Chain A
């Protein structure tokens, strides 16, 4: 902001307007970095809604001269408006995405990932933190350390951010009280992060660019002074060399292997190996454009050539011959879920780790991390914004390092193969020992694996009872309700079985037994396929029902006795069968010419005389959604 009339119109009496003028030096503020070499520092800002994040960012842009006069004029005296969001979002009052802002001083350029503090906070925070070297954690002096503060700090730490600045903001609103600041610092220290704490007022600029006379008791640096002094991160800078190959270029019969150095450095003449094959080679050119370099360091994009002809393509990793990264196809990883649709254990997702692509299968998470309490809680799958720890395996070996050692060799995306959306992000913790051999265990597709894909526990719901008891009607209604709840079901009854599979059977005792045996076997196959099967058969004899129960696994057979007094069934007689049986036109009719053996211990008993069809169906569905039967 210059003294030449391009001054934001300050409203009389409004907070901030006066402050802008007070802090704006006579001339222009130090220009955004004029010419000359700078370093780069990537930040993330964390804070709850209304802690003053936008005001602080606006303030930083203003103080460093990184906002232009027309932009300043457009935001009046409210600096937070310098960093407003998209039109549609403004209208809907939502900001659900990470925004990137820039400011610069004479010696350093800053890229700020501005992650909104609400809504899809985990996904956004994790995205913003993935590239950040330092986190600015805002706390409102009047509110102190909140659950959000803890959550944000945890996520930043998880993603590998190692530097934290605790900004106790709105100090002006608490009379610049040292005690307030110190109490918040003590509270935050309990989280166990190492950090630098600075009391500020984003609104009036105290301790943002320059140290404030209002807080003479504070002896540390202002925020900008601190940021300027932070050493740029040496992440992966000093480890053994590794570079993922992005592209192979051919020119004049020579091949160049393009990539960005992920860790360490490489010099001309270095011995390297191409992973996962392990082929050795000697570096004889390090190209950046037409120039040849003697050395390339972490973060540089270069083109390597080797003295030997070696097999090397996109997805391979060129690494130090002495200390190559690991190669494995089974891992334990932290998974952050980013999609509306839940993680499906057992399903194959496309995995992207650097330039390596694979298909990955994730086991049911061992536990989930509650980001508010940081406790490990039992995982029931993984929902949007959930963070879990799970074993996983890939269809081919991956060259990797633990995420905490090298972000670029340990961080991966999970992508849905149908929608192509990025549904999850993963952080490799370590490879699993071969002996654990997840892979082989799961490679033969078991009934459990099939059921896992459907997220349900396969069951046979066996409806037994007199003709006219309401078995088929109830079974139909139950199937409808299960289907609506996303369960994969199949209904077997006299109609679809007798007409086809059992066309050759009649109603003698032997044929009735065979009918039930075949139905049982069919249901068993369907259970192995992962389905919930409903079977509605009179099945009058205990022996047959026990036979079916014994074909299945423990707990898979659910006997539902639709109990109706004979008199009532006879009175209903929807198909006129009882009348015919009484006339002797249907021999061996259950209840008339043939006995019905009442179940002794059915899983569910439906009192058909007392309950409506709807009530009966609800009771069965309720039984199925009890925790033990809810399935994976």
Chain B
């Protein structure tokens, strides 16, 4: 019996999650309500069923996610019967940091990068399981499955450990931690095929629907609440759009589409042919901005 690629990827991800659960004192699973999070949560349930996954979920919130994502997050956590830790960087909250006034770089740095470190430190979490994939960005191609972070959450390429077979060395000293990526070997297409094959609930925002959007700097932004106001010459119009990646709504560019189901999405990937990060506004800051963010501790 030959396993399919989805079965093998699934088995590998489950194996990695169980290793994470067994090797760390207090692991956590990052959950952002995006498609990779949905897949990760599904795999976590598979890995430990009929018991519940032995770790909590952590959402590093920015207060700027789509409303639909918050709704999905709360529903999914409740259904899984898992504890959900929501962390918002108090300093960013106090100073009202937002992507519209402060730009994507500072917003992301304070809410997400600093927020994640704060949350891990505050709750004494020594391993964070995340849904990042090696195919997302070229600089991720060498990322480990167990990615070592020195004290202060810094990623140092020289201290990453060789990973052979299915053996992950999770030993560490106090203050050091790991990021763990069970979906390392998945591609975007694998994720969608898996979502389809297993009937996993993902955010409706991935599917085309008429949504109120305005056009800014060549991006279609969805007006998810009153904080995003049309500027001079901009108008809010109802258009058929969907999202390829989900983050803070003013930083997530929509694409015009009529694809309302997964085969439709996959068919559009065939002709659209743009890489996933294309719609992520935070990547535009510089050629190697992802790598810099990663060194600083961005997921």
Q: Which residues of A contact B (CB under 8 A)?
A: 1-2, 4, 6, 28, 31-35, 37-40, 65-66, 68-71, 83-89, 97-102, 104, 108-109, 111, 114, 123-124, 126-127, 130-131, 232, 246-247, 249-252, 256, 258-260, 265, 287-290, 295, 297, 299-301, 303, 314, 338, 350, 352, 354-355, 407-408, 411-413, 415, 420-422, 425
Q: Main secondary structure on chain B at its contact with chain A?
A: helix
Pairwise interchain contact B18-A258, C-beta atoms closer than 8 A:
yes
Pairwise interchain contact B193-A35, C-beta atoms closer than 8 A:
yes
Pairwise interchain contact B22-A246, C-beta atoms closer than 8 A:
yes
A residues in contact with B196, CB < 8 Å? 35
Pairwise interchain contact B8-A256, C-beta atoms closer than 8 A:
no
Pairwise interchain contact B274-A40, C-beta atoms closer than 8 A:
no
Q: Main secondary structure on chain A at its contact with chain B?
A: mixed
Pairwise interchain contact A100-B184, C-beta atoms closer than 8 A:
yes
Q: How far is the CA of A104 from the CA of B12 in the complex (A)?
A: 18
Pairwise interchain contact B275-A70, C-beta atoms closer than 8 A:
yes
B residues in contact with A87, CB < 8 Å? 139, 287-288, 291-292
Choose among B5, B134, B271 the residue that contacts A39 (Cβ–Cβ < 8 A): B5
Render B248-272 as a binary contact track against A, CB cut-off 8 A, 1 for contact: 0000000000000001001001110
Choose among B5, B138, B160, B189 the residue that contacts A108 (Cβ–Cβ < 8 A): B5
Pairwise interchain contact B4-A38, C-beta atoms closer than 8 A:
yes
Q: Say how far A425's CB is from chain B's closest CB, in angstroms.
A: 5
Is B102 at the interface (CB under 8 A from chain A)? no
B residues in contact with A314, CB < 8 Å? 22
Choose among A4, A88, A288, A420 the residue that contacts B157 (Cβ–Cβ < 8 A): A88
Select the residue from B12, B15, B166, B270 with max chain A CB neighbours within 10 A: B166
Chain B contacts with A in 172-194, Cβ cutoff 8 A? 172-173, 184-185, 187, 189-190, 193
Pairwise interchain contact A413-B141, C-beta atoms closer than 8 A:
no
Q: Say how far B162's CB is from chain A's closest CB, in angstroms.
A: 5
Which range contains the number of B residues in contact with the other chain?
A: 35 or more
Choose among B6, B45, B274 the residue that contacts A37 (Cβ–Cβ < 8 A): B6
What are some 19 contacts across the A-B interface (CB < 8 A)? Answer: A39-B4, A68-B273, A68-B274, A85-B139, A87-B292, A88-B291, A102-B187, A104-B187, A108-B5, A127-B163, A130-B164, A250-B51, A260-B15, A287-B49, A355-B22, A408-B165, A412-B167, A415-B171, A420-B172
Chain B contacts with A in 1-38, Cβ cutoff 8 A? 1-12, 14-15, 18-19, 21-22
Given contacts A86-B142, A87-B139, A100-B185, is CB(A40)–CB(B5) below 8 Å? Answer: yes
Pairwise interchain contact A260-B11, C-beta atoms closer than 8 A:
yes
B residues in contact with A108, CB < 8 Å? 5
Pairwise interchain contact A289-B2, C-beta atoms closer than 8 A:
no
Choose among B47, B142, B160, B161 the residue that contacts A301 (Cβ–Cβ < 8 A): B47
Known: A35-B266, A354-B167. 5 other contacts (CB 8 A): A100-B185, A260-B14, A301-B15, A420-B171, A421-B161
Is B50 at the interface (CB under 8 A from chain A)? yes
Choose among B4, B11, B141 the residue that contacts A83 (Cβ–Cβ < 8 A): B141
Q: How far is the CA of A290 from the CA of B5 in the complex (A)?
A: 21
A residues in contact with B46, CB < 8 Å? 288-289
B residues in contact with A127, CB < 8 Å? 162-164
Closest partner residue, chain A, to B160 (CB atom): A97
**List of 10 A-B pairs having minimum Cβ-Cβ separation, nearest first:** A87-B288, A301-B14, A289-B46, A130-B164, A99-B141, A68-B275, A69-B273, A420-B171, A40-B5, A109-B5
Closest partner residue, chain B, to A128 (CB atom): B164
Q: How far is the CA of A623 from the CA of B236 in the complex (A)?
A: 87
